Amino acid sequence: MTLQQLYVVLLIGGTVLLASIAAARTASRVGLPSLLLFLAVGLLLGEDVLGVDFDDAQLAQNLGAAALAVILVDGGLTTQWRDVKPLLLPAGLLATFGVALSVVITALGARLLLGMEWRLALLLGAIISSTDAAATFAVLRALLLPKKVTGLLEAESGFNDAPTLILVLVFSTAAADLPSPLSIFGDVLYQLSVGAASGVLIGWTGALALRHIALPATGLYPLGTFGFGIVAFAAAGAVGASGIIAAYLAGLVLGNSSLPHRAATRSFAEGAGWLAQIGLFVMLGLLVTPRELSSAVLPAVAVGLVLLLVARPVSVALCLAPFRTPWRERAFVSWAGLRGAVPIVLATFPMVAGVGGSRGLLNIVFVLVVLFTLVQGPVLPAAARLLRLAQSGGLRDIQVEAAPLDVLDADLLTVAIPAGSRLHGVTIFELRLPPPTVVALIVRESTSLVPGQDTVLHTGDELLLVTTPKAREGAERQLRAVGRRGKLARWFGEYGDPESPEKDSGL
């Protein structure tokens, strides 16, 4: 590739990125999951419209797996453990037993209604049995729902990608005869257990390392946190386990640990997740050929109705029955099982494996995801109100966010008062710091206090000051002057000029 060609590629890529960001804004305003408009961007770029020819299923699978790893690490980092912890058992049942039920019922429907052979029918059932958190919550942001419901949907969508991926791999790589149920169970058990252990172990190791290693730049902490999540994904995959569950659990452990610069890490993860989603959906839109989709509409509608009206409700009802979940919550969880990027990515696995009829399978999955997202997504707010799970006038929890100091145009200074410093015995008022500099906090003997103007400083105190870049030099000079000659430093002609450490007796 020449330099000129690189410029053209970057120009097209940047334009697509900006167009997709604008599409995300439009989707949020009309109450639709943004994935639909991202897919539309990919279709417009494709060979039937603007002429971009992309038909490499292997590349799509590889890039899709990498994007899913980023999305799942982001999902884990932003998931609150306290919300998910009480729901691990029901979410785990939905993600395993519920997925198995959905696969069997959907495959049976595809076999009876479409006449598919069992292998393709089971593949189709496995591909579309995974729910998508991003698609679901994109249309629920304006609703006040019980934490139990949102936590259950979030946990289920984080856990059920791994079992469905395992089933798709098993059905795609099997020979003409399908493997025995015992063999499938053993494979699923190994991949989930080793993948989960890898994710938790690497996440814990990463949290321990990032808490005790002082990195030279703030921006390295988000990179390091995200890097541990990617390492968990790759390490689990390298030993034949589930990288999907490893990435999600590593992110979950890291996101709920007391790490430095958590706000910056969350912002970085959110941006990386959006970038991965945009790239993934646009690529998947490029992969399909629009002129081939018309023949997939009726099969997609038939299979989608079986999934929506039979398979999903039955699996939710049976999995949540032991927990005495109210029928309203079961109904909403059943309807809120939206499909997103994962099924379309999974549809590339049979294509790469050379399974006969896999191209038609991709078209059915693509149409099903688009149509039923259009049907289910806009109805979710109304369904929540109809089931009396959303309260239009309800109070919301306050949203607390950390404001980066560069946004405030501020600097954060720390000052320790050493033995012999004339700062000992001086009050905050007597420091006469240049405005808008303030002493925000004093740490004294392992306890913290918010100082007033009359607070007296003592040897050993650690001061936390907030100032502006313009006032910073003046504040440092004033502190240095008072440290050398006391509160009357200026009377003695002391202005805090920087000196070598051996001449500086104050700070």
Where are the chain's structural domains? 56-386, 411-492
- Torsion, Cα 311 342 299 49, to 10 degrees, reads 160
SS3 state at 68: helix
Mean pLDDT of all residues in 181-187: 75
Q: How far apart (Å, rounded) are the C-alpha atoms in residues 155 and 95?
A: 9
**168 has a pLDDT exceeding 90:** no
Q: Is the pLDDT reported for residue 33 higher than 70?
A: no
Task: Label residue 278 exposed, middle or buried (CB < 10 Å: 0-12, 13-18, 19+).
Answer: buried
pLDDT for 394:
45
Confidence of residue 398 (pLDDT cuts 50, 70, 90): very low
Mean pLDDT score of the chain, rounded to an integer?
80
Sign of the torsion angle spanned by Cα atoms 227, 228, 233, 235:
positive
pLDDT band of residue 153 (cuts 50, 70, 90) is: confident
| Confidence (pLDDT) at 182 | 76
Q: What is the pLDDT of residue 425?
A: 92
The percent of residues above 90 in pLDDT, for the chain, comes to 12
Distance of alpha carbon 68 from its chain centroid, rounded? 10
Q: What's the pLDDT tens digit per position in 418-454?
A: 888 899 999 999 998 988 899 999 998 888 899 999 9
Residue 140 in tokens = 């629920």
**Residues paired with 467 in a beta bridge:** 411
What is the pLDDT averaged over residues 266-283? 78
- Overall average pLDDT of the 467-495 stretch: 86
What residues contact 213, with CB distance under 8 A and at least 6 apart?
none
Strand, coil or helix: what is 136?
helix
Is residue 342 a contact partner of residue 68, using CB atoms and an 8 Å limit? yes
Whether the pLDDT of residue 298 is over 70: the answer is yes
Q: Is 483 helix (H, G, I), strand (E, B) or coil?
A: helix
CATH 1.10.10.10 assigned to 56-386? no
* Cα–Cα distance, 44 to 53 (Å, whole number): 11
Is the CATH number 3.30.70.1450 carried by domain 411-492? Answer: yes
Of 278 and 502, more confident = 278
Return the pLDDT at 504: 43
Which range is least confidently modeled, 229-233, 243-247, 286-290? 286-290
The rounded radius of gyration (Å) of the Cα atoms in the chain is: 28
Q: Order of strands across the sheet with 462-467?
A: 411-416, 462-467, 438-444, 447-449
- pLDDT band (50, 70, 90) for residue 105: very high
What is the pLDDT at residue 26?
65
> With 50 as the cut, is the pLDDT of residue 96 above it?
yes
pLDDT at residue 401 in the model: 45
Amino acid (1-letter code) at residue 126: A
What band does 393 get if pLDDT is binned at 50, 70 and 90? very low
Question: What gap in Å lies between CA 233 and CA 376, rounded to an integer?
Answer: 31
